[in-house]
Amino acid sequence: MTCAEIEHELVAYHFDALSDDARRGVEAHLCECLHCVRAYVELKRAVETGESAPRPSAAARARLRRAVARELGVGDRKWSWWERPLAVAVAAAVVLAAGATTRILTSAPGTPPHALPGWKR
């Protein structure tokens, strides 16, 4: 393969979109041609960093988020007026129950954080 042929294949090679024969040809040429290796490294750096590329707009990012959410089956769920306070109340009840249980389990003599049997000050 020539350098001109390889240059057209470098993007597909980077994204692993070549057939096995074409990939082997590109790899064989890259092992022999320093110029094409440099071109591949520059292309790879440009694709992976993308610093000079323009950023997508806020509207495009929002459309992409909605499309991904729709694809995953999660959407912007609207909470009913009673669901959010109920969730906070349940979380608070769990925290209070955990605190009360910890207090009960650790308040008897001989239980942590109190002295263990055989421990002297």
Residue 18 forms part of a structural domain = yes
Give φ, ψ of 25 to 5 degrees: -65, -45
Residue 22 forms part of a structural domain = yes
Q: How far apart are CA 19 and CA 105, in angstroms?
A: 66
Residue 91 forms part of a structural domain = no
Residue with the two structure tokens 């009840």? 93
Residue 107 forms part of a structural domain = no
Residue 41 forms part of a structural domain = yes
Predicted pLDDT of residue 112: 65
Tens-digit pLDDT profile for residues 23-57:
999 999 989 988 989 999 988 888 777 766 677 78
Tens-digit pLDDT profile for residues 93-117:
999 999 999 888 887 766 666 555 5
Residue 69 forms part of a structural domain = no
Residue predicted with more confidence, 94 or 3: 94
Predicted pLDDT of residue 105: 83
Residue 40 forms part of a structural domain = yes
Predicted pLDDT of residue 59: 92
Structural domain boundaries enclosing 30: 3-49
